[in-house]
Amino acid sequence: MANSLKNVLQTVGSHLSDNLICTDGLSQIAQIGNLLPNFPTISDAIFECHLGSSTPRTDFSIAFSTLNQGRETLVDSSKTLANLSYASSVWDKIHNFSAHWANIKSPLYENVKNIWLEFDVDQQFLGVPEPSLFFGTQNIIGQKENLSSSNQNSIIAESKWVADEALSLLFNSFLKEEVKQHLLTCFESLPSDGEVFQIGVMLPRKSESKAIRLCAEDIANEQILDYLNNIGWSDSSNQLSSLLSNLSSVVDEIKLNFAIEDKIFPKIGLECYLYKQPINSPKWKLFQDYLIKNKLCTLDQANAILNWSGFLKEKHTKQLKQDNFVKASAFDSSKFKSVIARRLHHIKIVYQPNKPLQAKAYLWFGHRWLSKDGKFQESI
């Protein structure tokens, strides 16, 4: 069977402007594709494009879900890569984590929705590239009304697996009590309906290898600053409030990500979402102007983001005809067509007190089923 991911990367790479990625960067990402399993097991992938610079830099992420035997595929692939990487412990940790995820007796089996592997592409690869790992969580949600002792116990019970199993596997050791307590404070302080939807560890980064990344959503924009203050974050410049106000007027939704150990790191990410793709979004021009005015993005980069969205039918691409797309699309081709879809996922504004802002565009692509009425289906 042909390597589907490699073929998909060749195809979608032609739609990514050289204002967002350089030839060497795409070549390095293709090397990752050579090592990893077939699409559509990996049903979601993202180019992470650093904006504002005339020298493009693009990182790469892929997801494994519970569909299409994603768990089992990651277990097998990570074991092979762990054997290839010799002295590195990163792939050993990923293999161990994925093996627990695939084990029905492990709390990870029911509580982890997906796993994302994130590769930094900022130098020539020597040997097997090492990714960071993020896992999608369930049921870590802010409580209604005032937090009673029973609600607090519920939060502790629902999230116990995160520290005791998931993060212990990734750190290869038990978390310190002060780190566990700070993690629980982040969960308990969520406003009503707020949710931690992803947790990650930047495994290859020595400066962050002991830090825990948390991604939270459904926190109202006007509650973000209060939430950060409640978990111990501080801002001597007092600029975040005005930044949130500015962004709220030009985007549809803001999600929050940040890192903790026994304290919260000063750098935070504000993930900015548009409900419609830029070409159809009434706010895109306002957001684009804001990014360009603040030197977070060039006009050429903004136009490249605008032109990214679209989809490609499998039958129009010779490379994809050679692999498992043909077999899959024949399953019910009268109702659904196999396509590779592309869209802007979000743009992240990186904020750190007394530091210049930074911006990154997250350009998603993935295998989907297109129905006759033009709607995308996750699976059939």
Give the whole-angstrom CA distance, residue 131 versus residue 373.
38
Which residue has tokens 């504004």? 349
- pLDDT for residue 322: 44
- On the question of pLDDT at 254 being above 90, the answer is yes
Mean per-residue pLDDT for 119-147? Answer: 80
| CA dist 296 → 102, 195, 249, 253, 292 (Å) | 41, 28, 17, 19, 6
Mean per-residue pLDDT for 101-113? Answer: 96
Residue 132 φ/ψ, nearest 5 degrees: -85, 165
- pLDDT for residue 202: 94
Task: Dig out the tokens for 240 from the structure.
Answer: 């975040």
Q: What is the pLDDT of residues 138-155, one digit of tens each?
A: 889 887 655 555 555 666
Residue 59: count of CB within 10 angstroms of its CB:
22
- pLDDT for residue 280: 93
- On the question of pLDDT at 330 being above 70, the answer is no
Which residue has tokens 């999230």? 159
DSSP 8-state class, residue 279: T
Share of the chain above pLDDT 90, in %: 60
Mean per-residue pLDDT for 340-356? Answer: 95
Helix (H) / strand (E) containing 302 = helix 299-306
- pLDDT for residue 124: 60
- On the question of pLDDT at 331 being above 60, the answer is no
Mean per-residue pLDDT for 64-72? Answer: 87
Give the whole-angstrom CA distance, residue 128 versus residue 33.
11
- On the question of pLDDT at 19 being above 90, the answer is yes
- On the question of pLDDT at 372 being above 70, the answer is no
Please choose, from the candidates 377, 245, 269, 299, the residue with its C-alpha nearest in 3D space to the C-alpha of residue 54. 299
Mean per-residue pLDDT for 112-135? Answer: 85
β-strand partners of 370: 337, 376
- pLDDT for residue 30: 87
Query: What type of residue is 290?
Result: Y
Helix (H) / strand (E) containing 303 = helix 299-306
Residue 226: count of CB within 10 angstroms of its CB:
12
CA-based radius of gyration for the chain: 21
- pLDDT for residue 377: 59
With a CB cutoff of 8 Å and minimum separation 6, the contacts of 69 are 41
pLDDT band at 263; cut points 50, 70, 90: confident
Secondary structure in 3-state letters for 73-100: HHHHHHHHHHHHHCCCCHHHHHHHHHHH
Give the whole-angstrom CA distance, residue 162 versus residue 170.
11
CB of 369 within 8 A of CB of 375?
no
DSSP 8-state class, residue 165: I
Indicate the SS3 state at residue 220. Answer: coil
Please choose, from the candidates 244, 294, 301, 284, the residue with its C-alpha nearest in 3D space to the C-alpha of residue 268. 244
Cis peptide before 282 (omega within 30 of 0): no
- pLDDT for residue 207: 75
- On the question of pLDDT at 380 being above 50, the answer is no
Q: Give per-residue burial for 116-142: e unless 16+ CB within 10 Å, then b.
A: bbbbbbeeeeeebbbbbbbbbbeebbb
Mean per-residue pLDDT for 87-105? Answer: 92
- pLDDT for residue 376: 59
Please choose, from the candidates 10, 132, 9, 113, the residue with its C-alpha nearest in 3D space to the C-alpha of residue 70. 113
- On the question of pLDDT at 289 being above 50, the answer is yes
Q: What is the pLDDT of residues 357-371, one digit of tens each?
A: 999 999 999 888 777
Task: Dig out the tokens for 285 from the structure.
Answer: 């021009």
Mean per-residue pLDDT for 266-275? Answer: 97
Mean per-residue pLDDT for 128-139? Answer: 91
DSSP 8-state class, residue 4: H
Mean per-residue pLDDT for 104-131? Answer: 87
Lowest-confidence region among 4-18, 88-102, 116-130, 174-188:
116-130
- pLDDT for residue 262: 84
